[in-house]
Every structure is written in structure tokens, then in C-alpha cells.
Structure 1
Amino acid sequence: MENFIDKLSNNQRKEMERQFEIYSTGVQEILPAIELKNKIAKSIFNEVPLKVKLGLDPSAPDVHLGHTVVLNKLKQFQDNGHIIQLIIGDFTGKIGDPTGKSAARKQLTDEEVKHNAKTYFEQFGKVLNTEKVELHYNSEWLSKLNLESIIHLAGSITVARLLERNDFSERYSSGKPISLHEFFYPLMQGYDSVALESDIELGGNDQHFNVLMGRHLQEHFGKEKQVVILLPLLEGLDGIEKMSKSKNNYIGVDEEPNEMFGKAMSVPDELMIKYFELATDLSLDEKKKINEDLEKGNLHPRDAKMLLSKTIVKMYHGIEASKRAEGNFKQIFQKGELPEDIPAIEWVGGDQIGIIDLLVELKLQTSKGESRKMIQNGGVRINGEKVTDIHENISVENEMVVQVGKRKFVKLKM
């Protein structure tokens, strides 16, 4: 690639350095960093925006803060006028990404892919300006490949190279089956970059092999190679495992403000800076100031966590909802009072009901097993009184307040 850095004026070079600092902050790795600088320089010199790609495997419809790490980085590119290419893997989703899996992934149906993709895009609108996003489905080009084209594509990589992937090598060495179609997933994902002539591809650090495949295939097809930016994975509220709905350690972007605020307040102290860095839209200077103040003792960790919680709620629900959630949290946890805005539900059941059935009926718990466990752990209260008997029958009254855990409240209306 031609060197554009040396062609820049002093002001253009300052702009290049400004953008590079923004894009390189909070990332795991840039492959290679000098090429990213040169691509930014080329964009500035030619006044042509970069094409920044993110591939999405629509295997589940729910988006949590862990997913927004890469979205926040995309927004930085979007804020500087670059083109965001979101690729819905409707074709590759039917293969199933084998990354990190000890067995073949379930292949999705067309209906599942379309439903999940629609939900994804709606939730991504909370971070990105979706009106300025290029949305692609990779079936646009992958379904048109004939057998000859696929064989040519497969000829660009060796089996030995594919087996370098940890998940494949571990399954191979332990005698677990690997279906031939699974080898095609990284090839298909890489071909997306060829079809769209992407300049940059973003991904989590668990996608290292897949995103580098795009760079490899672009070179194979005689195109300018993309730069790869890998982002760290965000640990969940347990502080150990990657944020995941299945681990129940997540903050969902669609959760109501009080729940979101309360969950953010439970982020482990040692992860606060990482959450500020990866999961908020604060400026680079604001993040540096928070870090410095915490290190010098000028900012108490509790106050920092309040700021983190307010910032997260504001990003997804607005400033007024953030203020209300803060007030609600202080009222419950600092003053020991009931929140003012308890949601009211009209009760149409009988006058008597078992406590377990009541919790499930009110959708405060998803199952009788979860309800039983919550009661046994002392997490259920009726009008402020703790319920300890899983077999207790409740006399339903008007204005009765049912509380589950620290953040779920419901007021019954007869």
C-alpha cells in the first residue's frame, strides 16, 4: 500500500494522530498498527471515508453490554465520518460459528436468522446511528458462489492452517468429530471482506483466527488488505466469566433503568475502569480523569460506581431515566425505603395463592424452581416482611407490594 502518512500536512497529521489515539485506546491488538495509521492518512488525504466491518453471527437475539464493546468502537469510527458495514451472517449462521466450541454448533433456520437479525439491528440503534450504517446479509454474495468458486476459495488455505485454531485442534486431538462444513465458516466470514472491500474489521479477541482470514483472502484475491482490530472481552458481574446471558452475569441493553442501574452498581471494584473504558461513551479525557482520580484517591470507588451506573443508564434510556434510577437506588439501598415508582399490576387471580405460584404468575421469577431457591435464600418479601416458607399461602390484598431480590418490586391492584 502506498505511504500516505508522509503526504499529510501538519494539520492533517494531527488529525490522523487524534483519530489513531481514539481507535487504539481500549483495544487488545491492532494488526498491524502502522497500516491503521496509513489507512487513516489515506482517508484524510483523499477525503474518502474508511469502510469498517463488523460481522454478526445472529445466534441469539439479546444484546448485552459485552456486545457493545465493539459497537462503542464502531461509533468512534462513525463519529469521524467513516462507513460502518454491519454484516448479518444469515448464510454463515446456518453453518454455525465453531469458535470456542467443543462440538458442532446448531445450524439456524431462515426464520431464526431473520428474527434475531431484526432484533439485533433494533438494539444496535441504541449505540449506532443505524440510518448511516450499511446493512448487508452475506447470503447476497455467498449464496451465488458455485462449486468451482468454492473449491478455488478452499484452495487458498491448508487443513494444517485451519487446525491451528484452538477449538479445532483440541477437538481433533481428543477424537471429537469435526464436520467438513465447519472448516468453511472462517473462509466464508473472510470472503465477506473480499466482497465488501473492507478497510478495517473489528472483532472480539476470541475471533482472532476468523478476522485474520479476511486479510488473508483479500491478499489472495489481489485486494488491499484490511487492518484487524481485536477488542478485549468484558467480564460479567461475577468478575470472572465473560459476560453472558447463560451465566446470568450480564447487563442487557433492553433492561429497565432501575434494574440496569442496580446491576451496574454490583460491578466489582477492580473492573470499574474496564467498564468505563469499554462500555461507556465518555470521552477519552473523561475516562483518563476518572482513572487518575481513582488512583490518587480523589474519587471514592462508591462515587465512581454511581457515575458508571448513571452513565450506562443514560446511554440507553436518557438522562431523566438515569436521574430517576439513581434516586430510586438511593431510596432503597441507602435509606432502606420502598421505591416511589413501583410498577402496578392488576390482579385477576383468586384471594389466596401459593407464594411460588404468585412469583411465577407475576413473572418475578421464570420458574417454580427459581422461586423456591429465591425464597430459601431470603430474597422474597411481602409488604416488607420476609417470606421463609416455600409452601406459604398468600392472602392477596389491594396495594400489596411483592419484592424479589433487591431490585424487583410489584404492587398489586385489585
Structure 2
Amino acid sequence: MSFLPVDEQLAIIRRGIEKIVPETELADRLKASRESGKPLRVKYGIDPTGIDVHLGHTVPLRKLRQFQELGHTAVIIIGNYTALVGDPSGRDHARAKRLTAEDVERNARDYLEQVGKVVDLSKAEVHRNGDWFGTMTFADILQLCGKVTVAQLLTRDDFAKRHAAGTPIFLHECLYPVMQAWDSVVIKSDIELGGTEQLYSFMLARDLQRDSGLSQQIGMMSPILVGLDGERRMGKSLGNYIGISESPYDMMKKFMQVPDGCMKMYYELLTNIPLDEVGTILAGHPKEAKVRLGRTVIGQYHSAADADEAADRWQREVGEGALPTDIPVVTLAALQLTDGALPAAQLLKVAGLCPSTSEARRSIEGGGAYMGAEKTKIEKPDQSIPVTSGLLLWVGKKRFCRIEVT
């Protein structure tokens, strides 16, 4: 195996990394790998607690792919046993609902299919940590737990905060960082990737590896990708995420919502565009920068043609105000009409654009209801609207339909 010079590898690896612990060991480990021709084992663990991989997940996954392209070995841990416990990182309470083994395995299959859009799974090792935890006896578990003190666990930030606040910390939660660290012992990881909240587990893994007579791993921590709200970490539960399995057009619409202040982070963590070029892009018009970002990232998970089509469609339908291409059709029976017409408020309700006639009246009176391709404003709630097939109705910018009369 022929590796790039260490300084070139470091330049690639360090991009988008917030913290390396201990950083002094990284160059030495890369040098030893290059001299011996032995790839480093780079670990990334995923708990399949859900099935939507979003751009926040891709930050460490993209780093894992970079290590692959540099000639190192990607080792993916599917945490089918740690998922049964639930990662307490960043939470101030215990998980309300624990997943079943069946839930976890179903999610794991979906996860891997999506992860394969980022990492070359044909060249990666994939392990389920149930393969070793499932064979442990109670005596084995006692021996493992005997390697970690309660005082050590309470230095973990989330546990420390909960302990200080008097919030319960359940015993099974304390097993999570121990299990994550033991994964590193089993697969003999040289480097582990994750977010900044994983520092405790990364360091615990080093202790357990040392006690087992192994080389100690290096922890590489990425910043937490901020979601579309510009404030909180990207997450499905917060509704501020972009999923890599969403349609190209849906992804593009969301990219155009990225706050201007987050653009540098998105470019640095989600693309390979050189940072000096990123500076030039961001110095231009924000809209053009977001279109460029959307095209680049969508092309990674779909195709360049899909990305171009999504960008062009956004420009037509949103940027220029043209009609959407996927207008939902609502069918009305002629018997529902009175002399081929309906009062405006009633029409918006039966078309499903408003849940009630009172809300429809408010939308009309507020100037937010339109009809026809030219979006003529509906002036009054009781206005009689002739209803024929092909009639377009709008409430605001996002609720619209085409009427078909049967």
C-alpha cells in the first residue's frame, strides 16, 4: 500500500475537525502507517435508533470516506446493543422509550443502505456490537464494569449536569460509554470519529485499550452541524434537517433556507471545495452561494443531472414564481356545486386548503387567497367562484391545488 506523504494526509484530514485528542500522536501514527504500509483502522459507530440519515450524520461519515480514499480501513460499528441502552450524550433525561431488538435490526438495514451513499461499504468492515456483547456472561460484564469507577462516569458532562440537578441517572445508561469504549478494544481502532460530545467515551476507550495492551486510539471530533434554524444541532425531531434520501428538489428547497451565517460551516463540512474558493463564493450573492451549495451536495447523494434539474426547477417555481410541476389535484363532483359555482370560503374548505370555512374566511380577508394561473386575489369570502376543471386555487405560498370536476 502506497500512502500520500503525511503532511498531505494531514491537510485533508484536519479540514472540518474541531478537536483531535491527542493531536500530537496523529502525525506519528500516520508516519508509522506509511512506513509499514499498514492502513490505520478508523472507527465510526452508529446507533440505529431511527432510519433517516441527514447531513449532520454525513459530517463524520464524509471524514470516514476521506480516510478510505487515503488508503485506510473504515470500520463501521452498528450499535445494535448500545441502541438498546440509548446514547445519553447531550440529553438531560433518560430515553423515554427503549427500542426492541427487532426495531434496531430493521433500522440498521435502512441505515446501511443510506450510509452506502457516503462510505464505500464494499471496502469497509461492518460489525454489530451485539456480536460480542451478546456472548458475554454476567461475569464478563462485571469484569468490564470493574474497569470504570463511578467518579470517572460523573466527569462526563451530561451525567455531571444531571447529577448536580438531582435528575435520575439510571444504571443501564452508565453502561453506554463503557460499551462504546469496549467496541474500540474489540476492533482495535486507531482513530475514532464522532462529535465533540463524544470526548469522554473516546478517552475511556484509550484507557481500556491501554489496559488490554493495545495501541491507544486517537479521537477526532467534528463540529456539530447547525440545522436550518441556524441555532440548534440538525435533527429530525427538530424539523431542521436535510435528509440525504429526500428528493433532489426537496433538498434544494431546504438548502435555499440555510441561514447566511451558517453557509461557511456548510461549505466546509459538506463539500470538498477549497476553502479559499469558498471565501470567494461567500463574498458573492447569498442566493447564488446557496444554489452552488445545493448543487454540490445533492450531486453527492443523487447525480449531477438531478442536482441541476432541482436547481433549475427551484429557480422557475420559486425564484421566478412560475407554476409548480407537482400541483395536487382535488376532484369535486358537479353535484357539490350550485349552478357550477361555490362561495369562495366554502370552496377553499372543500378543496382541502383550509380546515374550516372560518379559517378560509380569515385567509381571504387577510389577502392570502388566490385563484387561476395568474394568481388573482380572491376579494371576499362570499364571492361566487365559477368552478371548472383546471381551476387553480392558492392559500399563501405553499398550499395550492388544481380542481377537476366530475
Pairing partner for 1:93 from 73, 79, 83:
83
Q: CA deviation at 1:81?
A: 2.0
Distance (whole Å) between structure 2 residues aligned to residue 26 and residue 108 of structure 1: 33
1:327 aligned onto 2:312? yes
Deviating above 3 A after TM superposition, structure 1's stretches of 4 or more consecutive aligned residues are 344-360, 375-414
Q: Give the RMSD, CA atoms, in angstroms.
A: 3.2
Secondary structure at 2:250 match in 1: helix
Distance (whole Å) between structure 1 residues aligned to residue 386 and residue 198 of structure 2: 54
Distance (whole Å) between structure 2 residues aligned to residue 133 and residue 27 of structure 1: 22
Q: CA deviation at 1:301?
A: 2.8
* Per-residue Cα deviation, 1:148-199 (whole angstroms, up to 9, x for no partner): 2222211211101101122212222222221111111100111001110011
Aligned partners of 1:354 and 1:392 also within 8 Å: no
Aligned partners of 1:344 and 1:412 also within 8 Å: no
- TM-score (normalizing by structure 1): 0.83
Find the counterpart in structure 1 of residue 295 from structure 2.
310
Which amino acid in 2 is paired with 1:197?
A: K
Unpaired stretches in structure 2, ≥5 consecutive residues: 337-345
Aligned partners of 2:60 and 2:193 also within 8 Å: yes
Query: Which range moves more in the overlay, 129-138 or 375-384?
Result: 375-384
Aligned partners of 2:331 and 2:403 also within 8 Å: no
Aligned partners of 1:219 and 1:225 also within 8 Å: yes
Q: CA deviation at 1:97?
A: 1.1
Find the counterpart in structure 1 of residue 279 from structure 2.
291
1:163 aligned onto 2:154? yes
Pairing partner for 1:180 from 168, 171, 183:
171
Superposed, 1:185-204 pairs within 5 Å as 185-204=176-195
**Alpha carbons of structure 1 residues 348 and 231: separation in structure 2 relative to 1, 3 Å:** same
Which amino acid in 1 is paired with 2:68?
A: Q
* Per-residue Cα deviation, 1:90-145 (whole angstroms, up to 9, x for no partner): 11111111112222113210111012111111111221222222111100011112
* Per-residue Cα deviation, 1:253-272 (whole angstroms, up to 9, x for no partner): 12212221121112111111
Superposed, 1:264-413 pairs within 5 Å as 264-280=255-271, 282-283=272-273, 286-292=274-280, 294=282, 297=283, 299-339=284-324, 342-343=325-326, 355=348, 383=372, 384=375, 398-401=389-392
Superposed, 1:239-278 pairs within 5 Å as 239-278=230-269
Aligned partners of 1:310 and 1:322 also within 8 Å: yes
Pairing partner for 1:209 from 181, 200, 211:
200
Query: Which range moves more in the overlay, 40-49 or 223-232?
Result: 40-49
Distance (whole Å) between structure 2 residues aligned to residue 188 and residue 29 of structure 1: 23
Distance (whole Å) between structure 2 residues aligned to residue 67 and residue 17 of structure 1: 27
Distance (whole Å) between structure 2 residues aligned to residue 388 and residue 255 of structure 1: 38
Secondary structure at 2:219 match in 1: strand
Distance (whole Å) between structure 2 residues aligned to residue 80 and residue 381 of structure 1: 56
Which amino acid in 2 is paired with 1:174?
A: A
Q: CA deviation at 1:359?
A: 5.0
**Alpha carbons of structure 1 residues 350 and 88: separation in structure 2 relative to 1, 3 Å:** farther
Aligned partners of 2:330 and 2:401 also within 8 Å: no
How many residues are paired up? 386
Aligned partners of 1:354 and 1:393 also within 8 Å: no
Which amino acid in 2 is paired with 1:18?
A: E
Q: CA deviation at 1:215?
A: 1.6
Distance (whole Å) between structure 1 residues aligned to residue 162 and residue 171 of structure 2: 13
- Equivalent pairs: percent with the same residue? 38
Distance (whole Å) between structure 2 residues aligned to residue 223 and residue 201 of structure 1: 15
- TM-score (normalizing by structure 2): 0.84
Aligned partners of 1:95 and 1:181 also within 8 Å: yes
Pairing partner for 1:123 from 88, 91, 114:
114
Distance (whole Å) between structure 2 residues aligned to residue 358 and residue 31 of structure 1: 59
Find the counterpart in structure 1 of residue 341 from structure 2.
none
Distance (whole Å) between structure 1 residues aligned to residue 126 and residue 169 of structure 2: 32
Aligned partners of 2:44 and 2:77 also within 8 Å: yes
